[in-house]
Chains A and B, each alone.
Chain A
Amino acid sequence: MPQFTDLLFYALAGLTLLFGFLTVLNPLSRSPVTSAMFLVLTIISMAGLFVLLHAFFLAAVQVLVYAGAVMVVFLFVIMLLDLKADERRHFNKIAVGVGGLSALAIAGTLVASIVKTVPVSQTAGRLAEGETKALGRLLFESHILPFEILSVLLLVAMVGAILITKKDLR
């Protein structure tokens, strides 16, 4: 049923945009915790979009890593800091300007890449079965070097974070 999946796509895409908007600009609440919760909802609706593309592995990992782990740590930090001042803060004109500019830049990049991409209709069919294996092969065979560099980069960031928090090590 193609119409049904189309309908689902528009519903999920709409929800993603709505939640994303509410993350940065919520008219009802300025609480950072609310923003974080809407970001979680954005991530979950994006996982729904992955499911529509038959990319179940990506969808599951998206929820597992971003919604389940990263955002929980975010919440942890927000709750510990208890950003009361931030709730009353008014709009910073420079921040709004810079934010709008970068949003425009990203939108431009996305539109350009959509226009330039040649549609490949077979991709979804190929991904539907054994995509976890295919993804693993891609990561560990053809893209092993960038993958390893990325993991070392993450390790560096982690060591750096520990170094900053440990005052007596400096």
Chain B
Amino acid sequence: MEAIKYLSPTAQMILFSALKIGVVFGVVMTAVAYAVLVERKVSAWIQNRVGPNRTAPFFINYLPVIGPFLVKLGIFQPAADGLKFLLKEDFTPSYVRKVYFWLAPAITVIPALLTVAVIPFGSNLGSEKMVIADLNVGILYTFGIVSLGVYGIVLAGYGSNSKYPFLGSIRSTAQMISYEIAMGMSVIPIFILTESLNLSDIIRYQAEHGWMILKQPLAFVIFLIAAFAETNRLPFDLPESESELVGGYHTEYSSMKFALFFLGEYANMIASAAMMVTLFLGGWTLPFIDALNLPASSLLLGLIHIGVFFAKMAFFMIVFIWVRWMLPRFRYDQLMDLGWRRFIPLALANIVVTALVVSLFNN
């Protein structure tokens, strides 16, 4: 550890950034794998089933009591699923547009992973801030990157060159653009209150003045529902809606390329859960306890902050999954109606009211 001190500041920055990127990437990937497992388990419980409870590696026999328990929880299922995706035949239909067909899964995954870069997932460990890139325009960066994610779905539909995927991708373009507007507008009152676009500043403001969900409940509701539409989750999963479009935009995909679409969807869920925690639930802070509300002074506190952040994020992931298995799918016109005629006017009204209140109180 001593050797690090002799490196130049630039070299230190590069070293720590690379370290953070590596760890965050690993954590997100693991979280994606286990989110799938949680999804299967929760859906099973909701439908009064058991869920994955058989996958057992050979060494499990040497672990008494704990071993069978882990197997029942399905802890090893994600590894088996991942292996299956890698080993299955990767079939490319003859009629597809090859370049786009190959590019689309990658374009779906990359933006979802890039979003995580600006999210402060803890205060600090030692002197190192727990955010990969503390951008001044953090939130705009997120929206910009998220808006690129739609290309993955559009190109998947176009590249597949067949009817159902095409319908799915046409739906997704309209849906994602519509809800992006509502989502973008819903967070403007937050900027008006915090006077900053930096996510760390927004967390600091919430630590001092109370969580944003209490001040902007309407903005939170709009953001939450728009997040469902942006991640293509039920009740808004019209781009894939399996009962009418087979699988929508990923009908023609198989093996790892198919898995990448799922990876992208879950990474997007994680990214939007992290955004909601940061914007509305105070990020890594917990109110009423000073030690947890201020930047960490010791290594242990830093780790607790990261734990708090992950606990809040896990809560939103469970909400995502829970809603999926409780609600039926919207009809397409209902979806558009909700987006354009309910949320956008509501978000606009919210902006005007917030701006009025802030300007009245400041004078």
Q: Is the CB of A79 within 8 A of B170?
A: yes
Q: Which of B132-154 contact A (CB under 8 A)?
A: 135-137, 140-141, 143-148, 150-151, 154
Q: Check if B294 is an interface residue, CB within 8 A of chain A.
A: no
A interface footprint on B180-215 (CB within 8 Å = 1, 0 otherwise): 100000000000000001000000000000000000
- The bracket for how many chain B residues form the interface is 20 to 34
A130 and B150 alpha carbons, distance in the complex (Å): 30
Q: Which of A28-71 contact B (CB under 8 A)?
A: 33, 37, 40, 56-57, 60-61, 63-64, 67-69
A68 and B157 alpha carbons, distance in the complex (Å): 17
Q: Which of B102-143 contact A (CB under 8 A)?
A: 135-137, 140-141, 143
A80 and B165 alpha carbons, distance in the complex (Å): 13
Contact of B147 among A37, A67, A80 (CB under 8 A): A67
Ranked nearest first, the 10 interchain pairs of A and B with the lowest CB-CB distance are: A68-B147, A60-B140, A63-B144, A64-B144, A76-B173, A56-B137, A60-B137, A60-B144, A60-B141, A57-B137
Known: A69-B180, A75-B154, A79-B170. A63 touches B135 (CB 8 A): no
Task: Output the nearest chain B residue to A73 by Cβ-Cβ distance.
Answer: B177
Q: Check if B223 is an interface residue, CB within 8 A of chain A.
A: no
A-B contact sample (4 more), CB < 8 A, given A56-B137, A60-B143, A76-B173 = A60-B141, A72-B176, A79-B158, A79-B166
Known: A76-B170, A132-B197. A64 touches B158 (CB 8 A): no
| Chain A contact residues, CB within 8 Å of chain B | 1, 33, 37, 40, 56-57, 60-61, 63-64, 67-69, 72-73, 75-76, 79-80, 129-132
Task: Output the nearest chain A residue to B142 by Cβ-Cβ distance.
Answer: A60
Q: Which of B150-173 contact A (CB under 8 A)?
A: 150-151, 154-155, 157-158, 166, 169-170, 173
Q: Classify the secondary structure of B's interface with A.
A: helix
Hey, which chain B residues are within 8 Å of A37, CB to CB?
151, 155
Hey, which chain A residues are within 8 Å of B180, CB to CB?
68-69
Min CB–CB distance A12 → chain B (angstroms): 17
Q: Check if B174 is an interface residue, CB within 8 A of chain A.
A: yes
Known: A63-B145, A67-B148, A79-B166. A56 touches B135 (CB 8 A): yes
Hey, which chain A residues are within 8 Å of B154, CB to CB?
72, 75-76, 79
A-B residue pair count with CB separations less than 8 angstroms: 72
A80 and B174 alpha carbons, distance in the complex (Å): 12
A131 and B137 alpha carbons, distance in the complex (Å): 10
Hey, which chain A residues are within 8 Å of B197, CB to CB?
57, 132
Q: Which of B136, B146, B150, B158 has the most C-beta atoms of chain A within 10 angstroms of its own C-beta?
A: B136
Contact of B137 among A40, A73, A79, A132 (CB under 8 A): A132
Q: Is the CB of B137 within 8 A of A64?
A: no
Q: Is the CB of B151 within 8 A of A64?
A: no
Q: Which of A63, A68, A129, A130 has the most C-beta atoms of chain B within 10 angstroms of its own C-beta?
A: A68
Show 24 A/B contacts (Cβ-Cβ < 8 Å), sorted by A: A40-B151, A56-B135, A56-B136, A56-B137, A57-B137, A60-B137, A61-B140, A63-B147, A64-B144, A64-B147, A67-B147, A68-B143, A72-B150, A72-B173, A73-B177, A75-B154, A75-B173, A76-B154, A76-B173, A79-B157, A79-B158, A80-B170, A129-B136, A130-B136
Task: Output the nearest chain B residue to A29 by Cβ-Cβ distance.
Answer: B99
Q: Is the CB of B148 within 8 A of A68?
A: yes
Min CB–CB distance B185 → chain A (angstroms): 13
Contact of B144 among A68, A79, A80 (CB under 8 A): A68
Hey, which chain A residues are within 8 Å of B136, CB to CB?
56-57, 129-132
Task: Output the nearest chain B residue to A76 by Cβ-Cβ distance.
Answer: B173
Q: Which of B250-267 contact A (CB under 8 A)?
A: none
A94 and B70 alpha carbons, distance in the complex (Å): 73
Min CB–CB distance B212 → chain A (angstroms): 19
Min CB–CB distance B319 → chain A (angstroms): 26
A79 and B170 alpha carbons, distance in the complex (Å): 8
Hey, which chain A residues are within 8 Å of B143, CB to CB?
60, 64, 68
A interface footprint on B8-21 (CB within 8 Å = 1, 0 otherwise): 00100000000000
Min CB–CB distance B55 → chain A (angstroms): 40
Q: Is the CB of B173 within 8 A of A73?
A: yes
A68 and B230 alpha carbons, distance in the complex (Å): 13
Min CB–CB distance B331 → chain A (angstroms): 20
A40 and B136 alpha carbons, distance in the complex (Å): 24
